[in-house]
Amino acid sequence: MKWSSAALLLSGLALAHKPPTPKQPNILFVLTDDQDNHMGGVDFMPRLRESIIEKGATYDKHFCTVAICCPSRANLWTGRMAHNNNVTDVAPPYGGYPQVVKLGWNDNYLPLWMQDAGYNTYYVGKLWNYQNVDNYNDPPVRGFNGSEISLDPYTYQYYNSMMVRNGGDPVSYAGQYITDVMTDKALGFLDEALAEERPWMMTVAPVAPHSNGTREIHSGVFWQSQPEYAARHAHMFKDYQIPREASFNAAIDGGVSWIGNLAPLNESVIEYHDEYQRCRLRSLQAVDEMVESLVARLEEAGVMDNTYIFYSTDNGYHISQHRLAPGKECGFDTDIHIPLYVRGPGIPENQTLDAVTSHTDLAPTFLQIAGGATHGLDGKPIPMTVEESYRSKTEHIGVEYWGVNLPEGIHGYRKLPLPDGSAHNINVYHNNTYKGLRLIGDTYSLYYSVWCSNEVELYDLTVDPYQITNLASNRTRFANHTVVGRPLQQVINRLDALMMVVKSCKEESCRQPWEELHPGGFVENLRAALSPAYDGFYAQQPKVAFSSCELGYLVSAEGAMAVDPYEREKKYKLGRRFEYGESLAFFS
């Protein structure tokens, strides 16, 4: 166990104030698919608001680290960043269930760790991708006392889904609305869980508001349309429009890679996108009802004072922003800045917490709640109180992506390349491999990215919240742009060095990346690193760079992997350790 000492101390204090509980708390985790945070999505979910958001905490600065389903779930369930779990795609050879199994994660991940901690575990809905009607039991999913897992190619067919219960035979739900089916199944497992002595963790992962579609396993054809909704919600949001914000249908000044060349959307496409987003909101209504039913069942059972409820999504979504077709897989806030709401014992009610958190932190959070072992994870438990949140020093989110970008909707119809390269590609954007670094401090909010083409992006969200000016696109033109009073190039040097650490970090170096640059804890944030005293040091660091664009994590394509730590501080650190030992002796 090696969380940051502050988090340990604070969680210790929090525990000391709590009366002893008869058993570890239960955990319910509702995980939607592709739910955006930037188009008012949860404002249209009144039951979620009433039963979770207003009774708990909003984590306003929560991010995913890989903006696509299966890799984001791998991040959640392994507690490791994508470069450490290497499940980087939705399908083989770089991702999907076969890669999960091959790399041993089916035998070493959160549900098993929760069982080791004494929990009964349940799962309803979409778990990975590419777990399909052919391979679903080869081997069976491990780690659950009860499971109802969605199977490809039916996962995204809202009225034609197929699920496997507890490793049995697949059952078709043709004609039934899948979110409602999942609600029933979740309520059933909840009854089972509540009847047992042991604490439980249950994840319910509906596919809404993901696009409706199918992946034909054998032909590679992948077709996605607007999500389908329950008939009872068809009348809703008829007048809704996607907010016409600064990035709406706007080109990026200095856009990179394929995004730099997108044509403006015409009126008929915009109309189509508005309707698409209405369908997404309608599809979320059944999730809203699901949340209400689950919370009601917990309240009836009288277990709310010992149950945490988490609500989040795997990744965000864009639709018209930056002229993008419906989809995700980008590093913009639309895609990575996502909802996280938590309700439970000790969690402040109806409050927004400011700490910077990511999906990498959720496995550690669940394990801390359970008192379980920590298994070499890359994150740390999220703050659970206003005080802990206030003291959180984390500023960075490491973002990664490998592969292609897949536009959804009728303008993005396509055939996926098969592993043997046989199918045509229509409208797939290639070379969508990049590293990103989202950094939020007291007075700064930045997104820095290096692409496999070695193009660079930098957005200053304090003045450009919709990310439409790439400051790294022309360092002459933007040379006078400052962050904390320091010029652009100095800022980029720091961000690049931090990204160098974060892109290959492991465990403690993911939690405390500045420590790799400044051993001894002298620099803990961008502000301190921007001191002119370090200008020479940062100018000389190896730079993040790719030698080619690959579809997966091939170390050979990803250039330098480590920074040169600041030597003077390394020596000073040894001296400080010695003094620390002496003062301990003095006190004993």
Ligand X SMILES: *[C@@H]1O[C@H](CO)[C@@H](O)[C@H](O)[C@H]1NC(C)=O
Element (H, E) at 414: strand 414-415
Give alpha helix (H) positions in 172-266: 178-194
| Burial of residue 222, with CB atoms counted within 10 A of its CB: 0-12 exposed, 13-18 middle, 19 or more buried | buried
- Smallest distance, Å, CB 472 to ligand X? 12
Which is closer to ligand X, CB of 214 or CB of 293?
214
Return the residue of 58, 247, 285, 431 that touches ligand X, per CB under 6 A.
431
Figure out which of the listed residues 97, 459, 537, 553 binds ligand X, where binding follows CB under 6 A. Answer: 553
Of 505-534, binders to ligand X (CB under 6 A) are none
Per-residue binding letters, 142-161, with ligand X (x by CB under 6 A)? ---x-----------x----
Which residue in the list 64, 69, 452, 549 is annotated as catalytic? 69
Can residue 78 be called a binding residue for ligand X (CB under 6 A)?
A: no
> Which is nearest to 166 in space by CA: 141, 192, 191, 185?
141
* Span near ligand X by CB under 6 A; candidates 126-134, 330-338, 366-374, 553-561: 553-561
Burial 57-78 (b: 16+ CB within 10 A, else e): bbbbbbbbbbbbbbbbbbbbbb
Interface segment toward ligand X; rule CB under 6 A; list 223-231, 242-250, 308-316, 320-328: 223-231
Out of 106, 120, 285, 493, which residue is the one contacting ligand X (CB under 6 A)? 120
Residue 265's φ and ψ, nearest 5 degrees, are -85, 135
Contacts of 499 (CB under 8 A, 6+ apart): 398, 435, 437, 448, 450, 544
Q: How far apart are CA 266 and CA 306, in angstroms?
A: 52
According to DSSP, residue 52 is labeled I
In whole angstroms, how close is the CB of 98 to ligand X at the nearest point?
Answer: 9
Interface mask toward ligand X for 161-200; x: CB under 6 A = -----------------------------------x----
Q: Indicate the residue among 15 and 479 with the shorter CB distance to ligand X.
A: 479
3-state SS, residue 490:
helix
**Cα angle 95-156-358, degrees, rounded to a multiple of 5:** 55
Give the residue, chosen from 554, 564, 572, 576, that forms a contact with ligand X under the rule CB under 6 A: 554
For ligand X, the closer of residues 115 and 131 by Cβ is: 115
Burial 332-349 (b: 16+ CB within 10 A, else e): bbbbbbbbbbbbbeebbe
Question: Is 69 a known active-site residue?
Answer: yes
Residue from the set 135, 214, 241, 425 that interacts with ligand X by CB under 6 A: 214
- Residue 311, CB half-sphere, CA atoms under 13 Å: how many? 31
d(C-alpha 363, C-alpha 545), whole Å: 30
Q: Smaller CB distance to ligand X: residue 444 or 553?
A: 553
Which CB sits closer to ligand X, 15 or 234?
A: 234
Shortest Cβ distance from residue 124 to ligand X (Å)? 16
Q: Does residue number 463 form part of the binding site for ligand X (CB under 6 A)?
A: no
| Residue type for position 415 | K
Residues 6+ apart with CB under 8 A from 539: 493
Note whether 73 and 95 are within 8 A (CB).
no
Closer by beta carbon to ligand X, 50 or else 245? 50
533-563: string of b/e by CB count within 10 Å (b at 16+)? Answer: ebbebbeebeebebeebbbbbeeebbbeeeb
Given the complex with ligand X, which of 326 and 381 has the nearer CB atom? 326
Q: Give the number of C-alpha atoms closer than 13 A to the C-alpha of residue 558, restricted to the C-beta side.
A: 20
Q: Report how far residue 64's alpha carbon sits from residue 560's, in angstroms, rounded to the nearest whole number.
A: 25
The helix/strand count (H/E) of the chain reads as 17, 19
Stretch that binds ligand X, among 7-15, 222-230, 387-395, 458-466 (CB under 6 A): 222-230
Q: Binding ligand X by CB under 6 A: which of 223, 240, 413, 572?
A: 223
Q: Does 266 bind ligand X (CB under 6 A)?
A: yes
Least Å from the CB of residue 174 to ligand X? 11
Residues 275-334 that bind ligand X (CB under 6 A): none
CB 106, min distance to ligand X, A: 14
HSE at residue 553, side-chain half, CA atoms within 13 A, is 20
Per rule CB under 6 A, count of chain residues that contact ligand X = 33
Give whichever of 407 and 436 is closer to ligand X, judged by the CB atom: 407
**Counting contacts by CB under 6 A, is residue 479 touching ligand X?**
yes
Q: Give, for 367, the enclosing helix (H) or strand (E).
A: helix 362-370
3-state secondary structure 138-166: CCCCCCCCEEEEECECCCCCCCCCEEEEC
Instruction: Out of 269, 281, 284, 370, name the contact with ligand X by CB under 6 A.
Output: 269
Q: Please report whether residue 54 would count as binding ligand X according to CB under 6 A.
A: yes
Instruction: Identify which range of 209-217, 383-391, 420-428, 578-586 contacts ligand X by CB under 6 A.
Output: 209-217
The smaller minimum CB distance to ligand X, of residues 71 and 519, is found at 71
- Provide the binding-site residues for ligand X, judged by CB under 6 A: 54, 86, 93-94, 115, 120, 145, 157, 196, 212-214, 223, 225, 228, 266, 268-269, 350, 411, 430-431, 474, 476-477, 479-480, 548-549, 552-555
| Residues annotated catalytic, as ranges | 69
